[in-house]
Structure 1
């Protein structure tokens, strides 16, 4: 995939975080980049059952069958030159379906741990730049985004992915709250243009820095 992947991680269609991603996408497209907006809520993802099967080679998940689509999503993440994760914050954390998908990343942690022991930390996957756009209805709280960001950091690390930039927006309970802040909307489009330019500039050698 040569398009930016914007993963819409809210259970609510057309909610605040969906619109954050759309504004980013508008800017990226203006810069000449392709963007795929992919709603996580459309995917069937069974939650991890903690069975430990993925701790053994070949580190496959026993749930990856019978219509489960977690592996399909992981493939999209790995193929994209840049990933945007757009999500609301619920009780200082991430929504349930997104957390279920995150927990299914345990197999990458197991494989990475074995690779670290065998090869001195060499990753099995190419580096992946990731952006995070998080929205909270709560207008204040010094640690409002900390839990979500830590979860994302350690979800991404075994996949050789790292958050390179964030937009952390509070006081946005419904889309109308976002539209009432035109400067924020413009800034999100500008953010998309910036990263769209970087993706298109690096398209020939396959890197985004």
Structure 2
């Protein structure tokens, strides 16, 4: 079975969103599920240059297939990981009401999937709809207030995931957390994250492919 994946989207190791993912993984492990923690910061991702090359078949990004430039790019490796995982957790901080730069760079590189979907829209309409991969989203912010603190990021993630045949199933939206110790000062939050992981670990153990509730 392919491992479920937690994508750690913070540029800072062992920050609050990393801690969220680790507590989730701890709970999942208690239910017998092994979550692979994948730090996005370890994967070079070149930002989209808006060239439009992916609009035409085979809808590949020139940044992924460019050679001889000396630059590294592992966006496609990340997309392959997300596609293969039966469950994905996206754990990210919020900066200025938005997602961190490298995570946004990966999202922008998803344009090629939108292009492919648009090109095959009529053909896809005649086919059975593929199952929607469950994606969990954990967002953390140091700011304690703000009615729209997470709204823009959730909308971005919704449309990023759509052409990947994935969708947001559940969220944890935490505010007022500046450092990992802040989570441990809130036992209710800590215990909820472990229980969240345990619940999904149990589902994975029972239904390793679909993970439906």
Q: CA deviation at 1:182?
A: 1.4
Q: CA separation in 2, counterparts of 1:195 and 1:87?
A: 19
Contact 1:115/1:124 (<8 A) preserved: no
For each residue in 1:121-140, what CA deviation from the matched residue of structure 2 results, as whole angstroms up to 9, or x when unmatched? 75896531100000000001
Q: 2:148 matched to 1:116?
A: no
Alignment match of 2:144 (pick from 129, 139, 148) = 139
Is there any run of 5+ residues in structure 1 with no aligned partner, and where?
none
* Superposition TM-score, scaled by structure 2 size: 0.93
Aligned to 1:53: 53
Assess, with a 3 A threshold, how the Cα gap between structure 1 residues 69 and 124 changes in structure 2: closer, same or farther: farther
Alignment match of 1:170 (pick from 170, 175, 182) = 175
Contact 1:123/1:160 (<8 A) preserved: no
Is there any run of 5+ residues in structure 2 with no aligned partner, and where?
none
Alignment match of 1:98 (pick from 93, 100, 103) = 103
Count of paired positions: 207
Aligned to 1:36: 36
Assess, with a 3 A threshold, how the Cα gap between structure 1 residues 125 and 9 changes in structure 2: closer, same or farther: farther
Aligned to 1:18: 18
* Superposition TM-score, scaled by structure 1 size: 0.95
Aligned to 2:191: 186
Tell me which stretches of 4 or more aligned residues in structure 1 moved more than 3 Å: 121-126
Q: CA deviation at 1:150?
A: 0.4
For each residue in 1:104-145, what CA deviation from the matched residue of structure 2 results, as whole angstroms up to 9, or x when unmatched? 000000111122133327589653110000000000111100
Q: CA separation in 1, counterparts of 2:128 and 2:101?
A: 29
Instruction: Indicate the SS of the match to 2:102.
Output: helix
RMSD of equivalent CA atoms:
1.5
Contact 1:178/1:184 (<8 A) preserved: yes
